[in-house]
Structure 1
Amino acid sequence: MEEFINVEEKAISVAEAIITRHSVREFSQKAIEQSVWDELLNLSKRAPSWKNSQPWKLRILQGKSKNKMAESLVNAAKAGPPSPENPWPENYPADAKRRMFDLGMKIYGVAGIDRKDKAARDQFMLNNFKFFDAPAAIFITTTFDLNFYVGIDIGCFLQTILLSARALGLGTCPQAALGAFPDVVRKELELQPEEKVICGLSIGYPKEESQLNRYHTPREPLENMVQFYN
């Protein structure tokens, strides 16, 4: 059975933020107030990292800068394959492939896209590079050498942003796709070559009465992933 929840209101506890957070792909055009940005970023900077190394930088785009970036990324996505800083994984275990396929079909279904409609599916994919028309986008970058532990640190930082945003009534969609064309991002933001573009997220207030936003992704039963030893 499909599960749908309302993510338009603020989460009132850490537990509620964790349980109710999921990706939002339809946004209100209401701008994020500076006071909300300040609270979000001050919360997020408390994320843990190896020996307090804090291997992250944030590039936040709104308004004209966001629109210009979206245009450049869409053009890049239409022109050729991704070239992320670190190769994306290609091989997944069979159970993971099943979950990934099932999620894609369910998202398309809630979005009203027929699985045989390739044009609609391609446009839905391109919406990643338009930030799903969110009022703001965040790019996470680093000047550190990329390795497994830097990846863990940035993952902790990203999750802290997602949960803090949920607590403030904001919706987010974390996107590996926003690291697909790092040279485009560096050029648009005039970054130094050593600043690597890792990933990003679309962020804003969720669009009201959006069934797509209310679709809640399933998780594996605990017995399939946890074993206790006494």
Structure 2
Amino acid sequence: METETVELKEITGAAASVSEAMNTRHSIRRFDPRPVEQAKLDALFTTSLRAPSWKNSQPWQVHVVTGEKRSRLATLLTEAAIAGNLKPDIAWPAVYPADAKRRMFDLGMKIYGVAGIDRKDKAARDQFMVDNFKFFDAPVAVFITSNFEMNYYVGIDIGCYLQSVMLLAREHGLGTCPQAALSAAPEVVRAELGLAEEQKVLVGLSLGYPLAEPELNRFHTPREALADKVKFYS
């Protein structure tokens, strides 16, 4: 598959500014298995709680999973995915505008290209999807849940929180991969973490030190031009 138009960017090391974190962050899908220092996790998630929310409602509960608990969850989620036992608490979007579908298809083809997967190789594509449920071997799995009634504004708040975590991770020299897939088997997550049924599993995040070698980890997702997405008025 042609990859001449693929942008590659190293994201190892800490980001020195918010702008650097924004411009270098992208999803990591191959992680170093070494643990993330607890002090670093404490600092990251303490600061993340400064994320804004509607009337300071703070609709999130955050669950940071490591060690044996993380390994067990990876096994159970993978089994659920292979068996097809996936039913997220919040239905995933099914309809997109034509321009969004074009970008999504283009992204998928480029990711398969840098991952060395032929788009006709269904077994390899399926395995790539299943890797989501193993947290791409990241040593830290993060789940964001909420007991709020889901609506547009809660969604904005959760998005603000998730972005805050990802940018802070870059500041600490860590990589992340936000994953809707990790919300696909909420009963498994609730059972393993001892959560009440009212805690809806909204999204997950794999977190750790990126491996430097795979081209896949250097794949920098494209963006539309400023003029196409931002209009200035005066």
Q: CA deviation at 1:81?
A: 5.4
* Correspondence for 2:188 among 164, 184, 191: 184
- What residue ranges of structure 2 are gaps of 5+ in the alignment? none
Aligned residues: 230
> Partners in 1 of 2:194 and 2:164 — Cα distance?
27
Cα distance per residue 1:27-78 (max 9 Å; x no partner): 0011100110111012211100011111111111111111111111111111
Q: Structure 1: give runs of 5+ residues left out of the alignment.
A: none
- Deviation of the 1:229 alpha carbon: 2.5
Aligned to 1:210: 214
Q: TM-score, normalised by structure 2?
A: 0.96
1:66 to 60, 67, 70: 70
Match of 2:117 in 1: 113
| Corresponding letter in the other structure for 1:179 | S
**3-state SS of paired residue (2:7):** coil
2:225 is aligned to 221
2:162 is aligned to 158
Structure 1 stretches of 4+ with a deviation exceeding 4 A read none
Structure 2 residue aligned with 1:200? 204
Tell me the equivalent position of 1:125: 129
The amino acid across from 1:158 in the alignment is: L
Change in 2 beyond 3 A, CA 1:69/1:119: same
1:1-20 equivalent positions in 2, closer than 5 A: 1-20=5-24
Alignment of structure 1 residues 17-36 onto 2, 5 Å: 17-36=21-40
Q: Give the distance between the partners of 2:42 and 2:143, measured in 1 at CA.
A: 17
Aligned to 1:199, the other structure's residue is in SS state: strand
The percent identity for this pair of structures is 60
Q: TM-score, with normalisation over the residues of structure 1?
A: 0.98
